[in-house]
Every structure is written in structure tokens, then in C-alpha cells.
Amino acid sequence: MPPLILNTLISRIATTCLRSSKLLCLTVASVLLWALPASAITPAMATAIAVGESDDRIAALAQALGAPDPALARLIEALLDDSAKVAEGRVLIVKGDKAIDAATGAETPLPANAEDIINNNRLRRELEGAKAALGLFSASSVARANAITELKDSADESKLALIDRALAQETDATLKARLQQLRAAMLIASSDRDKRLAAALALATSTQPTVKSLLQARLAPGVEPDAEVRAALKTALSNIESKLAWGERLGVIFSGLSLGSILFLVALGLAISYGLMGVINMAHGELMMIGAYTTYVVQNAFRQYWPSAFDFYILAAIPMAFMVSALVGAALERTVIRWLYGRPLETLLATWGISLMLIQLMRTTFGAQNVPVENPAWLSGGWEVLSNLTLPYNRIAIIFFAFMVLVLVYVLINKTRLGLFVRGVTQNRTMAACMGVNTARIDMYAFALGAGIAGLAGCALSQIGNVGPDLGQGYIVDSFMVVVLGGVGQLAGTVYAGLGLGVLNKLLEGWTGAVLAKIVVLVLIVIFIQRRPQGIFALKGRSAES
């Protein structure tokens, strides 16, 4: 509604108040006055924000925030990106070879004597806070939520009027609750004792780690003089800590599941080559490394030839990583491994030598330094479950991917003709050969399958870290521990052992640290194997007796 019409309505209401209900008239007039738009910043106000001592400029900025408008937002943006200049008592925003008046928005020639505006770090922090504060009035709920998040770190009583105005206009219940907690955080350091007490009581319902830090700072010796306020602060801090503890516990469990899914995905291929075939493959980690480098190559190919489809490169990298690693595994089995069946020591030494050759090959081809693999846009970021718990999308995807690979391997081994041949050759090679099974070909297929699954593990690992020649060295020992602990030849045991070791490792890390946690886990595995050498799941029947 235009201001002229509003003013006319208000005048008519005022002249008729004596002949009607005064309460009704005042209520309607208040509503209409609230509807009047805030006046734009004046040239003098713009100059006060841009020029002068830091304290004076900050005070002028706080005053202008009391009635925010687009001109103020434009000026703040120009001051932050250093496109504002001052000339002849006016603040100008430079755009190319032209300039506009910061207060009126009118275009004007850029004077030759225009001077740059210098903003120190303190002023920049205040400007950033003011920019975030103006976001409270955005039409987008996402922008308002982001503004509240940014204001948490710069909450002070000078922005209280702005928060009150945003509270009056906010319609989203969740954002309104966050604004109320932000308001309480601003009042916690107020000079008014009653305001501090009310703020402490209001903050008791918060779940934000920043509020916890704020309360801890207020409870420092000599900061809060009032005993009742200190008691309220302690109660609020205790409530917040108990709520945040759940986020920390869930975070440990998720980290354990994430590590466990990686471990059993890495060990799944080894469970086939070592568990089913009895081959101690020390090059298993390097087959995983080949899968990771294949992902890197596919990423670069998409970036160069199909940049518009870059976010889908991982969908092409998954089958490529499997095929390349499987082909390398098949070549190794045909040239080296096939001559060493039944000779575990020679197999161990041969595959160890192959692992060194593969590492050097990757160093020669791609260099000794790690190469970066970028996450697709849909795997970047995370899901904020709680204020102190964010689950990364890439780790969630790896958990689902690992279980999907597990289901496919289970179906392949237990429900297909190839799986029947693999199990037959594993249990009784001579009888399988008598039944017409080409045991040499089945050996190659099985070893290639294990190598391909290692390549899938490398593809997954490339999404959570850099890819380098030594990538596989950090997982080979853990993968052997998973296979042995779960039970040789038992896929279910591999899953239980991988997830169990992952969660146990993360639980122990919180108490003992990363290094000591690994030592404790290793000791526990040794004790378990001493008492139960067959692992969690033991083979049954004639294959176990043989």
C-alpha cells in the first residue's frame, strides 16, 4: 500500500477516535504504522558508515540496521568487495567505468578524485555480521536459516532490535525458535541481571555447541557475579551437555559403521582369494590401488571430454575399476599364482614381490605424490541429523555400496553356476575335475573376481581420501585380520568381523587414542583366535575335516 494512502487512513482514524472505541482505533493505527516502509539510508548515513573512526562507523552501521533496506544491503556488499569509494562527501559504488550513489541509487560519473575506502579486520567482521543480519528478512527460508547460523558467532546486544524485528515477521516455527535462542545468546552478557537470568533459562533448551561454549565462557571465574544467574547457567550447561552427548555417541557409532563397511568391502575380495582358494595374496592392497587409480583416470576423462556429465563419472568408474582390477588379477593368476597352489610360503613371497612392482609402476606412471579425486556434487556435503552430528553423503553412499556389493557376491557364489563351480573346486578339486569342471579356468575366474572386488573397494576409498601408490599398504593387514577373525571362507564372518572391528576401533579411540586402540584390537584378536582358531563362523562338513 502506498505511504500516502496509509498516512491518509491513519489521519482519518485519529479524527474519529473520539466517536468510537479508542482501543480499536489505536490497534488499527499501530498495524498501519507497522506497514509503513522503513526510510532509505540518507547520504549522511552512508558517509558515516563508510568514513571515519571505526567506533563511529560501527555505531552508524548499527543504527542503519534498525531500519534495513535494499540500499543498505547494496552498500554493505560494496564495502566488503572493495568496490565503494568516497568523493565530495558522497559514497559511490563503482561498477566498471560508472558509479552509483550508495544512498539514492542514481547513476553518476566517477569523479577523478574518488578515494578508496579502507576497512580493517574489525570493520569487516561487523560488515559480515550486518550482511548476515539482513538475510533475516529474505523471502527464502533457506537464506534466513543461513543468516541465523552466521549470526551465532557474532551475537551481541547491538543487534537485538534487528532480531526482535525478524522475530515479529518470522512465520516458520523452527526458524522462530532458533531466533529466540539467538536473542537469548545476545542477552546472556547484558548488564541487566533479570535479562541474563531469562536468557540462561531460555538457552537451557538449546542443542547448539556454540551455546555450550558461550555458557562455559560466562561461567569462567569472575565473569558472572550473580549467584542465581550462575546456578541457572550451570543448569543450562548440564542440559545442553546431556543433549550433545547423544550426538557424540551416534557419531561414534556411525564412524564405526563407516570404517567397518570399508574394512569388509576391502576384505571381501580377500575372502575369496584367501578364504576360498587358500592363496595368501599380499598384492591385494595394490589391486585395490589399481581400482582407485582407474577412478582417477575416468574422472579426468569426464572432466576433459564430457564436462557436463562430470557428476556422473563415478557411475562409469565403478564397472571400469572392477574390470581393470579383475583383468590384472586374471593375468597374475595365469602367469604366477597358478604354479604356486598348495605352497603358501612361496605364494606369500611372490605376491609380495608383485605388490612392490605394482607400487613402482604407479609411481612411474602417475608420480610419487597423491592424486586428487573429486567427489560428484551429489556426494558432497552431509546430512545434519543433530546440531553436532553431520553424516557425510560420501560415507553414507559407501555403506550402501558395500552392502550392495555383498549381496551381489552372495548371489554370485550361492545362486549361479559359476558360484557352484567355485564352491565345488574349493571343497574337492579332484572330484570337480572328474565331473568335467575346468578347474584351471575356475581358479582364474575366482581370483579375478576377488581382484575385481578389491578394485571396487579402491573406487570407494577414492571418494574419502587422496589416491597414492601406498594406498593399499594401510589396509592389507586389516583385511587379513577381518578374514581370519570372521572365519576362513565365510562371507558372513567377513561382514560381522569387519563391522565389529570398525565399531570397536572407534569406541576405543575415544578412550585410548588411535594408536593404542589398534594395539588393543590386535591383542583382542590374538586372544580370540587362540581360543577359537576357526574364527567366528567355522566351516562344517567334509570340507572342514579335510
- This model's pTM is above 0.75: no
Q: With left for phi above 0 and alpha for psi between -120 and 50, is residue 277 left, alpha or beta?
A: alpha
The answer, yes or no, to whether residue 301 has pLDDT greater than 90, is yes
For residue 154, name the pLDDT band (cuts at 50, 70, 90).
Answer: low
**For residue 331, what is its C-alpha cell?**
593375468
The segment with the largest mean pLDDT, out of 20-29, 43-52, 394-403, is 394-403
Task: Look at residue 40 in the predicted model and tell me its pLDDT.
Answer: 59
Helices (H) and strands (E) counted in the chain, each on its own, are 23, 7
Note the pLDDT tens digit of each residue in 314-366.
Answer: 999 999 999 999 999 999 999 998 888 778 888 889 999 999 999 999 999 99
Note the pLDDT tens digit of each residue in 253-294.
Answer: 888 888 888 888 888 888 887 766 778 888 988 999 999 999
Give the range of the structural domain holding residue 31, as residue numbers without chain letter. 3-35
Indicate whether 301 belongs to any domain.
Answer: yes
The answer, yes or no, to whether residue 205 has pLDDT greater than 70, is yes
Q: What percent of the chain has pLDDT over 90?
A: 16
List, in sequence order, every residue forming a beta bridge with 116; answer none if it has no partner: 85
Indicate whether 339 belongs to any domain.
Answer: yes
Indicate whether 152 belongs to any domain.
Answer: no
Cβ neighbours of 208 (radius 10 Å): 20
The segment with the largest mean pLDDT, out of 53-67, 198-212, 245-259, 270-284, is 245-259
Indicate whether 16 belongs to any domain.
Answer: yes
Half-sphere exposure of 180 (CA within 13 A, CB side): 17
Domain count, the chain: 2
Note the pLDDT tens digit of each residue in 442-457.
Answer: 888 989 998 999 999 9
Q: Do residues 283 and 349 make contact, with C-beta atoms less than 8 angstroms apart?
A: no
Indicate whether 416 belongs to any domain.
Answer: yes
Helix pair 43-50, 70-80: axis angle to 10 deg: 30
Task: Look at residue 404 in the predicted model and tell me its pLDDT.
Answer: 93
For residue 39, name the pLDDT band (cuts at 50, 70, 90).
Answer: very low
Indicate whether 191 belongs to any domain.
Answer: no
For residue 112, name the pLDDT band (cuts at 50, 70, 90).
Answer: confident
Q: What are phi and psi of 101, to 5 degrees?
A: -70, 130
Indicate whether 466 belongs to any domain.
Answer: yes
3-state secondary structure of 385: strand
Indicate whether 478 belongs to any domain.
Answer: yes
CB neighbour list of residue 30: distance below 8 Å, 6 or more residues apart: none
Note the pLDDT tens digit of each residue in 10-29.
Answer: 444 444 443 444 433 433 33
Task: Look at residue 149 in the predicted model and tell me its pLDDT.
Answer: 76
Task: Look at residue 423 in the predicted model and tell me its pLDDT.
Answer: 81
